Amino acid sequence: MASCDYCGSTILFGGVKADQGRFCNDRCYNAGALIQVSQSIPDASVQQAVWEVHQGACPKCGGRGPIDVHTSYRVWSALLLTQWSSHPEVSCRSCGVKAQLGNTAFSAVLGWWGFPWGLIFTPVQVVRNLLAIAIPPDTTRPSALLDRHVRLNIAAQMVQQHQNQAAQAQPIAP
């Protein structure tokens, strides 16, 4: 199975293929341009920013770290329609576990109602959440996912600054 080069979601059917990779939808395809920008950022500055995020306060609750990417998994179904997704969030372990438990309960209640995929993916997503709770990211160092998240945020800021400078440089027509 392929995975989205931007968000990491599993792609079973369809997706968007491009020179720079494969993406689950148009939103991720458009954001994929950030991947190319992010590759030009020096590793030393990214590592410093990653450690600052890792040792900083939780963006969800304001509590202390370590902060990392915690992914929760969800599925919901209605007769012949089933949707499953991954929800990565940068947070402390406590907030990550809350999201994983919440999506486990959501999936356990709303995941079974589709045939055949709801019956197949509900136990998969529930087990993925339970494994994520049981095997958390290493607290002594930032994960590769956090590194990627911070790198993409820096790239987004660079693109935004470039767009702002370009907008300011354009003369205003009378």
Rounded to the nearest integer, the mean pLDDT of the chain is: 91
Residue 24's nearest CA partner among 77, 65, 71, 83 is 83
Q: What is the 3-state secondary structure (H, E, C) of 52-109?
A: HHHHCECCCCCCECCCEEEEEEEEEEEECEEEEEEEEEEECHHHHHHHHHHHHHHHHH
Per-residue confidence (pLDDT) for residue 78, from 0 to 100: 95
Backbone angles phi, psi at 39, to 5 degrees: -75, -15
How many angstroms separate the CA atoms of 10 and 84, rounded? 9
What tokens appear for 53 in the block? 């995020």
168: three-class secondary structure by DSSP: helix
Confidence class for position 8, pLDDT limits 50, 70, 90: confident
Per-residue confidence (pLDDT) for residue 12, from 0 to 100: 81
What average pLDDT does range 96-117 have in this prediction?
96
How many angstroms separate the CA atoms of 159 and 166, rounded? 10
Backbone angles phi, psi at 122, to 5 degrees: -60, -50
Q: 42-69: per-residue pLDDT in tens? A: 999 999 999 999 999 999 999 998 999 9
What does pTM read for this prediction?
A: 0.79
Structural domain boundaries in the chain: 1-31, 42-169
Residue 15's nearest CA partner among 30, 31, 4 is 4
